[in-house]
Chain A
Amino acid sequence: MRTIILVFSVLLAAVPGSAFAHAMLDHAEPRVGSTVSPAPKEMVLWFTQQLEPAFSSIEVRNEQGATVTAGNAAVVGDRTQLRVRLKALLPGTYKVIWRVLSVDTHRTEGNFTFHVRQ
């Protein structure tokens, strides 16, 4: 059993860092599934890898399906953040749809909702 644990430990230690991998959503502000007040003025997503700005986007839609973003999303910080400004949001549920390309050319996408209360 010790040998087995040793083998697993050595192999784990040999795993390269996360410099290259699929860009997955790490966290967001407003948080995934959260209810916030007052309404946020921007949406920021943090990813597990660096992004290619030209192929990374955020869409935010209200309950009627209308887009409520103001302008295009921008990759900021250490290239792991994707940020977009929002129009004035009324109380309700909003769907965030993101599509990104990591610097190692892996494409990922996802969506989640958040809520704005009175």
Chain B
Amino acid sequence: MFKNSWPLAMLAAGFAASTTLAHAHEIVGNRFFPATLAIDDPGVNDELALPTISVSKTGDDPSFKQLDVSAEFSKRITEDFAVSFAPTWSRLYAPGGPVMNGARGFQNLETTFKYRLFKNAEHEFIMSVGLEIEWGGSGAQDVGAESFTVYTPTIYFGKGFGDLPSSMDWARPFAITGQVGYAIPGVSQTSVASIDPDTGEQDIDTEFHPRVLNWGATLQYSMPYLKSAVVDLGLPDIVNRLIPIVEASMQTPVSNTATSGTVTTGTINPGVIYVGNTYQFAVEAMIPVNRQSGTSVGVIGQLHFFLDDIFPTSIGRPIFGNGIASGRPIFGR
């Protein structure tokens, strides 16, 4: 049974890794969009997420515990264009792994190119586009790293509700962000030949690699925004630095689904982000949306450094561009 589900496990592990890595933060007018954990946010910046640690129980049959430890380094090339690199190390506990005794190793390296397309301070709106590439063969197949490269063009957006009328002041600290990506495997199928031990005949197992819609969103309530732009209630500083958040990250196979099926998998992540001046710390629960997404609630935590604030005159600034650190996208302001 497990042998049959192993390709699915690898598929799930691969897409899970690809959707829990990239992060950024962004300031748009009054609004600070924090780096988020389950999906990427629309920000383009110099930053380092180190480490991101998650523990969950997979949706395989039988289910097993998986530990992921990842990092991400994002570097602006210009004010609006950045490249990020994100390695992830995974440990699959028994009965995970190809022979059910566990496995450990790196997932495929992920690289993301992201461009900030639009930014409007008045309406606290931002939109970016990107291309995420998971480099096939750069990780260990035992932990689910595929031998082929996956390309995921993605759209990211963020919208703060600070432009609501004053009669709805209570809602102005809310913001949403979201992303929609389309993961395109570099090869559509792989086949493995084996000898049937009973008949001695050759079997060929073919696995089809689906194209997957990676979609997700966050809903966040910014206490820093409440204090600095709506009403200063005189709350303790630690409370004024919190952003309660709910994230949703989903994966839906949409084509070439003969062996993968079309069931949407993902997690809903309620949590909280603490925002410091040069870093943020976040912790979230990971609640699977169905049996195929996991068998119990997991947890994810991340420490994230704002390199543009820590090293504003060296590695925290764009390689090309002027020295004033303010986004100047091609549209909007």
Contact = CB atoms under 8 A, between A and B. Distances in A.
Interface in A11-37: 11-12, 15-18, 20-22, 24-28, 31-34
A109 B29 contact: yes
A92 interface: no
B224 interface: yes
Interface in B288-333: 301, 303, 305-306, 308-313, 323-326
B166 interface: yes
B309 A106 contact: yes
B100 interface: no
Given A33-B231, A101-B324, A105-B323, A21 B313 contact: no
Interface in A64-118: 93, 101, 104-113
Interface range, B side = 35 or more
Interface residues of A, number: 35
B148 interface: no
B278 A16 contact: yes
B2 interface: no
A24 B229 CA distance: 11
Nearest to A3: B53
A110 B50 contact: no
B310 A20 contact: yes
Contacts of B231: 31-34
Interface of A is mostly: mixed
B32 A24 contact: yes
- Could you tell me the dominant secondary structure of chain B's interface residues? mixed
Interface in B220-252: 224, 227-232, 234
A32 B278 contact: no
A16 B324 CA distance: 22
B301 A32 contact: no
A116 to B, nearest CB: 15
A40 to B, nearest CB: 15
B93 interface: no
Nearest to A93: B166
A15 B228 contact: no
Nearest to A28: B232
Given A15-B305, A113-B166, A104 B313 contact: yes
Contact of A107 (B50, B277, B281, B325): B325
B27 interface: yes
Contacts of B27: 22, 108
B30 interface: yes
A21 B309 contact: yes
B303 A12 contact: yes
B228 A110 contact: yes
B137 interface: no
A54 interface: no
B153 interface: no
A105 B232 contact: no
B51 interface: yes
Interface of B: 27, 29-30, 32, 50-51, 53, 121, 166, 169, 224, 227-232, 234, 276-279, 281, 301, 303, 305-306, 308-313, 323-326
Given A15-B279, A22-B27, A112-B229, 16 more contacts: A4-B53, A7-B51, A8-B301, A15-B276, A17-B278, A18-B278, A25-B229, A31-B232, A33-B230, A33-B232, A34-B232, A49-B277, A105-B324, A106-B309, A110-B29, A110-B30
7 contacts: A4-B53, A15-B278, A24-B32, A34-B232, A105-B323, A110-B229, A113-B166
